[in-house]
Amino acid sequence: MQFASVQETARPQRKNDFMQSRRHQLQCRISRTLWAALETEQSRTGDSIAHIVERALANELDLKHHSLFQVSTSSALVEGVFDGCICVQDLKRHGDFGLGTFEGLDGEMVMLDGVCYQICAGGVAHEVADSTFVPFATITRFIADQRFAVEQAGSLNELLSQIDHQRPSDNLFAAFRVDGIFERISLRAACKAEPGEKLVDAIEHQSQYVAESETGTLVGFWAPSYATSIGVPGYHFHFINAERNLGGHVFDLRAKKLQVGMHIETDIHLAIPETQQFMAADLAADTSAALDRAEKNSQRE
Ligand SMILES: [Zn+2]
């Protein structure tokens, strides 16, 4: 008689009660043959039983876990199209993991394990209601295709170069979940934009701060350079700590004992806003330089 159990394990002990309420435990009896096959798969891949079961269930139940759900475009964001076009409840239908911002550029968004957090000035994070509106987001159903460890990263660039080695291609979208200890992390939270403000002007009054000795998770994506006007090309990471009360858009970090999960995306669903603001926006310009400034200006502090 064997039991397969699916539960969150890569979590600090003190968060267990909180996390248990957000993850489900599965107990079922399976045949000896299936169990042997699971063990073979576990030693072949190095993945946990929980991870293999979760991936197999997602495949069997036809959850589209290799689809990226992109709300609006990065060029619209640069042009100041900050009116919300989708609510958090609808986002959750398309995944449990992602990042973005809120109506009016009101803070940074992190979605992790199906919970959506808003991060405001100073990095203060809280869960948001499903009715909250969002103008821009990148969401997926995250199940790692591959996992690897990074013992030390002296900077964000050092971490990214380690991730580069594992990424199969520059031309595929990918999502990354990085759990570990962040000795120092430099963050920002966008603050509500004035009416008519564009992204580069709005981030002039962003909130920048540094956190130290935080256990937590990076939620991030790689977007290919051909996706310049849709996503944020290159890497884009947001952070949330284990207590889920501090986070932000990541500029730089020093971290250790990192567990990285990589999830490759093979198709993309672009949700085009039907707001007046989006429909009237001039999206012809090449916004890549402005986007780069807004997302990475302090990356090498
Ligand atoms: Zn961001």
Please write the tens of the pLDDT for every residue from 51-104. 888 878 877 776 666 889 999 998 888 888 889 999 999 999 999 999 999 999
35 with 97, same domain: the answer is no
**Range of lowest pLDDT (39-48, 213-222, 267-276):** 39-48
pTM comes to: 0.81
30 domain-assigned: yes
CA of 246 to the centre of ligand 1 (A): 15
197 domain-assigned: yes
CA dist 261 → 146, 174, 222, 258 (Å): 6, 10, 13, 10
The torsion angle over the Cα atoms of residues 270, 275, 276 and 278, rounded to 10 degrees, is -30
More confident residue, 181 or 193: 181
First to last CA, the chain: 56
With beta carbons less than 8 A apart as the criterion, state whether 113 and 75 touch: no
CA of 1 to the centre of ligand 1 (A): 47
106 with 235, same domain: the answer is yes
CA-nearest of 301, 293, 255, 286 to 75 is: 286
CA of 183 to the centre of ligand 1 (A): 20
Number of folded domains that form the chain:
2
Domain end call among 14, 36, 60:
60
- pLDDT (average), residues 166-174: 94
12 with 134, same domain: the answer is no
22 with 78, same domain: the answer is no
105 with 54, same domain: the answer is no
Those residues with Cβ within 8 angstroms of residue 52's Cβ, 6 or more apart along the chain or in another chain? 38, 41, 42, 45
What Rg do the C-alpha atoms of the chain give, in angstroms?
Answer: 19
42 with 87, same domain: the answer is no
CA of 57 to the centre of ligand 1 (A): 31
**What is the structure's pLDDT at 22?**
55
With beta carbons less than 8 A apart as the criterion, state whether 41 and 47 touch: yes
76 with 179, same domain: the answer is yes
CA of 196 to the centre of ligand 1 (A): 20
CATH number of the domain to which 117 belongs: 3.30.1330.80
Expressed as residue numbers, the domain containing 192 is 67-296
**What is the structure's pLDDT at 1?**
45
32 with 130, same domain: the answer is no
CA of 224 to the centre of ligand 1 (A): 16
82 with 105, same domain: the answer is yes
The average confidence (pLDDT) of the chain is: 87
Those residues with Cβ within 8 angstroms of residue 223's Cβ, 6 or more apart along the chain or in another chain? 173, 230, 231, 232, 233, 234, 236
84 with 113, same domain: the answer is yes
**pLDDT over 70 for what percent of the chain?**
89
54 with 121, same domain: the answer is no
With beta carbons less than 8 A apart as the criterion, state whether 214 and 244 touch: no
301 domain-assigned: no
CA of 164 to the centre of ligand 1 (A): 20
49 with 77, same domain: the answer is no
Domain end call among 44, 60, 76:
60
**Amino acid found at 33:** T
